[in-house]
Structure 1
Amino acid sequence: MSDTRRGHAARMPVPARMPEKFVTPDLDALGALVRDARVGHFAFVEDGEPRVLPIAIVADGAHILLHGSTGSHWLRLLATGIPVALSVTAIDALVVARSAFESSMNYRSAIAFGSCAPAADNGPDKVIALDLVTEGLIPGRVAELRPATAKELAATLVLRMTIDEWTLKVSEGWPEDGPADVAGPAWAGILPLATGYERAIPAPDLAAGITPPHSVRTLLGTV
Structure 2
Amino acid sequence: MSDPLESSAAATGTPPSARTKVRRHPERAAYDRAAVVAIVDAALLCHVAFVLDGVPHCIPTACWREGDHLYIHSVRASRLVAALTGGTACVTVSLVDGLVLARSALRHSMNYRSVVLYGTFEDVTDPAAKAASMATFLDHVVPGRAALVRPPDAKELAGTALLRVSLAEASAKVRSGPPKDLLGDLAWPVWAGVVPLALESGAPLPEPGCAALPLPPVPARYA
Q: In which range does the TM-score fall when normalised by the shorter chain?
A: 0.7 to 0.9
Alignment of 1:35-114 (within 5 A): 35-78=41-84, 80-114=85-119
- 5+ unaligned residues in a row in structure 2: which ranges? 1-6
- Which letter does structure 2 place at the counterpart of 1:64? L
1:9 aligns with 2:9: no
Distance 2:179 2:194 in 1: 8
For 1:101 and 1:174, locate their aligned partners in 2 and report how far apart those are by CA, in whole Å.
14
Question: 1:206 Cα shift?
Answer: 2.5
Deviation by residue 1:65-114 (Cα, 9 ceiling, x = unmatched): 00121122212432x34211111111110111111121111111221000
Alignment correspondent of 1:173: 177
> Cα–Cα, structure 1 residues 219 and 88, in superposed 2: closer, same or farther, change >3 Å?
closer
Alignment partner, residue 188 of structure 1: 192
Pair 191,180 (structure 1): closer, same or farther in 2 beyond 3 Å: same
Change (3 A) 1:98 1:200: same
Task: Provide the C-alpha distance between the structure 2 equivalents of 1:28 and 1:172, rounded to a whole number of angstroms.
Answer: 18
CA–CA separation in structure 2 for the residues paired with 1:71 and 1:129: 20
Shift, 1:161, TM fit: 0.9
| 1:211 aligned to which of 205, 211, 214 | 214
Q: Separation in 1 of the partners of 2:218 and 2:64?
A: 18
Question: Residue by residue, what CA displacement relative to the aligned partner does 1:104-128 show, whole Å, maximum 9, x if unpaired?
Answer: 1111122100011112322x21211
Change (3 A) 1:161 1:14: closer
RMSD: 2.7
Name the TM-score, length of structure 2 as normaliser: 0.83
1:152-196: per-residue Cα shift (whole Å, max 9, x none)?
211211111123411211111111222332223221110000111
What code does the residue aligned with 1:181 have? D
Cα separation, 1, equivalents of 2:50 and 2:108? 33
Bigger strand fraction:
1
**Percentage of matched positions with identical amino acids:** 34
Instruction: Measure the CA separation in 2 of the matches of 1:209 and 1:217.
Output: 21
Q: Structure 2 CA distance, aligned partners of 1:219 and 1:12?
A: 30
Distance apart, 1:22 and its partner CA: 5.8
Q: How many residues align?
A: 214
TM-score after normalising by structure 1: 0.83
